[in-house]
Amino acid sequence: ETGVTQTPRHLVMGMTNKKSLKCEQHLGHNAMYWYKQSAKKPLELMFVYNFKEQTENNSVPSRFSPECPNSSHLFLHLHTLQPEDSALYLCASRGPQETQYFGPGTRLLVL
Amino acid sequence: ELKVEQNPLFLSMQEGKNYTIYCNYSTTSDRLYWYRQDPGKSLESLFVLLSNGAVKQEGRLMASLDTKARLSTLHITAAVHDLSATYFCAVVVIDKLIFGTGTRLQVFP
């Protein structure tokens, strides 16, 4: 366990559904990240939050909407997704020496 | 455009053998990370290399950094099956980590 948890671990949703991914860290870190990992592609940074403020939106479509109510929690709200959005979504928090600690990920399948 | 390239992308090696994974990057960065990912699992931090010439070792893995050449290596000594995983390098740019494509390592008897 790295101290970063994500729920759900697996999610199947239709293109018209609305769902949310949750990330929680108990490491006392102040920066949190969302990444997308697709097959045969490098890890893609989606969003960065520092002290609850969004500091990076890496050209992510608006059907992905992040929320960071406090330094320990991060959400990714999903709506009207496309099949190509199927991927592993990883949350991370940033600790000492800029090392990022990753959660177990949510495996998302969009039908 | 910032690029982080790893080679090889896939490595199949016999137990007991040695091999090196290479990570090249295209921008100035004095900090480099190595991560391991097991199938279906998340990323686990292996090494943080913070300066030119840094070398770190943990068990059968040794990582080094040459910032002038923009090159890091991950050397595997006397491989064992438990090392089978995908290995990623990543460089930091401001507060972002830019990851390489990964090297999938399979160790067979």
Interval A53-94: pLDDT, tens: 887 777 899 999 999 999 899 999 999 999 999 999 999 999
- Sign of the C-alpha dihedral computed for residues B27, B101, B40 and B62 taken in this order: negative
The span from the CA of A58 to the CA of A35, in Å, is: 10
Token pair listed for A100:
């990022």
The span from the CA of B90 to the CA of A35, in Å, is: 13
Let me know: does B89 contact B101? Beta carbons within 8 Å: no
The span from the CA of A95 to the CA of A92, in Å, is: 10
Q: Residue A90: name the closest of B87, B72, B11, B40 by CA.
A: B40
The span from the CA of A76 to the CA of A64, in Å, is: 7
Residue B88: is its pLDDT beyond 80?
A: yes
Report the residue of chain B nearest A47, measured CA to CA.
B96
The span from the CA of A93 to the CA of A23, in Å, is: 10
- A55/B95 CB distance under 8 A: yes
Token match 């960071």: residue? A68
- What's the confidence (pLDDT) of residue A102? 94
Q: Residue B4: name the closest of B105, B104, B102 by CA.
A: B102
**% pLDDT > 90, chain A:** 75
Query: Hey, is the C-beta of B47 within 8 angstroms of any chain A C-beta?
Result: no
Find chain B residues with C-beta within 8 A of A45's C-beta: 96-98
A2 contacts: CB under 8 Å, gap ≥ 6: A101, A102, A103, B42, B44
The span from the CA of B39 to the CA of A70, in Å, is: 31
The span from the CA of B28 to the CA of B32, in Å, is: 11
Going by pLDDT thresholds of 50, 70 and 90, the confidence category of residue B62 is: very high
Let me know: does A30 contact A51? Beta carbons within 8 Å: yes
Query: Hey, is the C-beta of A102 within 8 angstroms of any chain B C-beta?
Result: yes
Using CB atoms, which residue from B45, B99, B101 is nearest to A99? Answer: B45
Averaged pLDDT for residues A22-44? 91
Residue B58: CB atoms within 10 Å: 10
Residue A2: is its pLDDT beyond 60?
A: no
- What's the confidence (pLDDT) of residue B49? 94
Question: Phi and psi (nearest 5°) for B26?
Answer: -105, 0
Q: Facing residues of B4 across strands?
A: B25
**% pLDDT > 70, chain A:** 98
- What's the confidence (pLDDT) of residue A51? 81
A–B interface: beta-carbon pairs under 8 A: 51
**DSSP letter (8 states) at residue A110:** E
Interface of A with B in 71-100 (CB under 8 A): 90, 92, 94, 97-100
